[in-house]
Amino acid sequence: MSSVEAAASVDMKRNPYKPLLATVDKIVEETWDTKTFRAVFNDPEIREKFTYEPGQFQEVSVFGVGEATFCLTSTSTRPGSIEFSVKKVGSLTDALHGLSEGSVVGIRGPFGNWFPYKEWKGKNLLFIGGGIGMAPLRSLLNFCLDNRDDYARVDIIYGARSAGDLCFTSEFDEWRKCKDTNLYLTIDKEEEGWSGNVGFVPTYLNDLAPKPENTIAITCGPPIMIKYVLQNLNTLGFADEQIYTTLEMKMKCGVGKCGRCNIGHLFVCVDGPVFSYAQIKDLPPEF
Ligand code: FES
C-alpha cells in the first residue's frame, strides 16, 4: 500500500463519518425519474488512489439536506471517477436530481462486501436485473467485461416497466459486442416500436431457461421481481449457492453502528450488501 493509499485508508478508519469532497462532472438522464452522476474527488491524490470493489456502496451527502446510501455503479477498472445512479423517491434524491454539473457532494466509503468474482473465474455469469436494480449489476458486469477472458458465457436479462424505464441504454451495444455476451431485454407491456420481449423478468427467465451447470446467477431489482426470480432459478435447477443478490434497503450509517439495517442476525451494511441466496433464504421475509 502506498503512503497515499495508507493516508486515505487511515483517514477513513479514523473517521468513517467524514465525507470526502467530490465534484459532479457529468449527469446522465437515464429515465424520467433516474439520473446517473459521475463524480471526481476534489483531492487529486484521493482521486488517483480511491479504489473499490463491484457490489460495494457509498454514502452520498448533499450539504444542508442529508445523506443516503447508493451502490457504486461504476467499476474500478475504469478509474478516475465514481458513478452512482439515483431514482427520485424523496427529499434527498430530489436534492440530488436538482444538482447541476460542477456541484460538490460528500462521499463516505466504500463500504460493505462485494461480489466474490475471483471465485467465479471460468464460470458462466447470468445477470438478471429489473429497473434501477441494474445499477449494482452494471458495476460487476462492466468489471467482468473488462476482464472478459476470466469468465465463460455472459447472459444479461434486463427488464423494466417500459422501454423508457430501462437504464444504461447507451451501453447496450457495447455489452452486445463483447465476446460470448448476450443481452435479453424485456418490458412489462407491449408498446409501439419495441422489438424485444414483452413480459415480466421472472417469466422471461423461465422462457430462456438458462442451464445451471457451471453458472452463477446474480440478480437485483424490485423485491417482487427478486422473489420470483429466486424461485424460478431454483426450479431451473440452480442451487442456492449459485445465486447472489445485493440488498440495500434501510441503511443509514453504513458502518454497523445505527442498527437500522438488520435483517434477522445480519447487518446489511457490514455483512452485505452482497449475499448468496443460501445466506438469506431462511431470514425473516422482510428483505
Ligand atoms: S446502516 Fe447503520 S447499522 Fe447498518
3-state SS, residue 27 = strand
Residues 10-36: tens digit of each pLDDT: 455 557 888 999 999 999 999 999 999
Q: Which pLDDT does position 8 carry in this prediction?
A: 45
Among left, alpha and beta (phi > 0; psi -120 to 50; other), residue 245 is beta
Cβ atoms of 103 and 53 closer than 8 Å: no
Residues 59-91: tens digit of each pLDDT: 999 999 999 999 999 999 999 999 999 999 989
Q: How far is the CA of 146 from the centre of ligand 1 (A)?
A: 32
Q: C-alpha dihedral over 13, 22, 173, 205, to 10 degrees?
A: 50
Q: Is the CB of 253 under 6 A from ligand 1?
A: yes
Q: How far is the CA of 72 from the centre of ligand 1 (A)?
A: 17
Evaluate if pTM is beyond 0.85: yes
Q: Which pLDDT does position 285 carry in this prediction?
A: 63
Q: Is the CB of 258 under 6 A from ligand 1?
A: yes
Within 10 angstroms of residue 225's Cβ, the number of other Cβ atoms is: 21
Mutate to test the pocket of ligand 1, among 17, 59, 255 (most ligand atoms within 8 A of CB): 255
Q: Is the CB of 123 under 6 A from ligand 1?
A: no
Q: How far is the CA of 177 from the centre of ligand 1 (A)?
A: 40
User: Could you identify the atom of ligand 1 that is nearest to the CA of residue 250?
Assistant: 1
Q: Is the CB of 254 under 6 A from ligand 1?
A: yes
Q: For strand 66-71 and strand 57-62, is the pairing parallel, antiparallel, or unpaired?
A: antiparallel
Strand partners, 220: 129
Q: Which pLDDT does position 287 carry in this prediction?
A: 52
Which residues have CB under 8 Å from 90's CB, separation 6+? none
H or E segment and range at residue 3:
helix 3-14
- Give the chain's residues under pLDDT 50: 1-10
Q: Which pLDDT does position 6 carry in this prediction?
A: 42
Question: What is the distance of C-alpha 234 from the center of its chain?
Answer: 23
Report the C-alpha gap between 165 and 163 in whole angstroms: 5
Report the C-alpha gap between 128 and 103 in whole angstroms: 33
Protein residue closest via CA to atom 3 of ligand 1: 256
Among left, alpha and beta (phi > 0; psi -120 to 50; other), residue 80 is left
User: Could you tell me the three cell numbers for 155?
Assistant: 447472459
End-to-end CA distance of the chain: 37
Q: How far is the CA of 124 from the centre of ligand 1 (A)?
A: 33
Cβ atoms of 281 and 240 closer than 8 Å: yes
Strand partners, 35: 29, 86
Q: How far is the CA of 25 from the centre of ligand 1 (A)?
A: 29
Q: Is the CB of 260 under 6 A from ligand 1?
A: yes
Report the C-alpha gap between 233 and 244 in whole angstroms: 11
CA angle 44, 256, 46 (to 5 degrees): 5
Within 10 angstroms of residue 176's Cβ, the number of other Cβ atoms is: 11
Mutate to test the pocket of ligand 1, among 113, 248, 265, 267 (most ligand atoms within 8 A of CB): 267
Q: Is the CB of 252 under 6 A from ligand 1?
A: yes
Q: What is the mean pLDDT of the chain?
A: 92
Within 10 angstroms of residue 15's Cβ, the number of other Cβ atoms is: 10
Q: Which pLDDT does position 5 carry in this prediction?
A: 42
Q: Is the CB of 247 under 6 A from ligand 1?
A: no
Cβ atoms of 107 and 254 closer than 8 Å: no
Q: Is the CB of 167 under 6 A from ligand 1?
A: no
Report the C-alpha gap between 69 and 260 in whole angstroms: 12
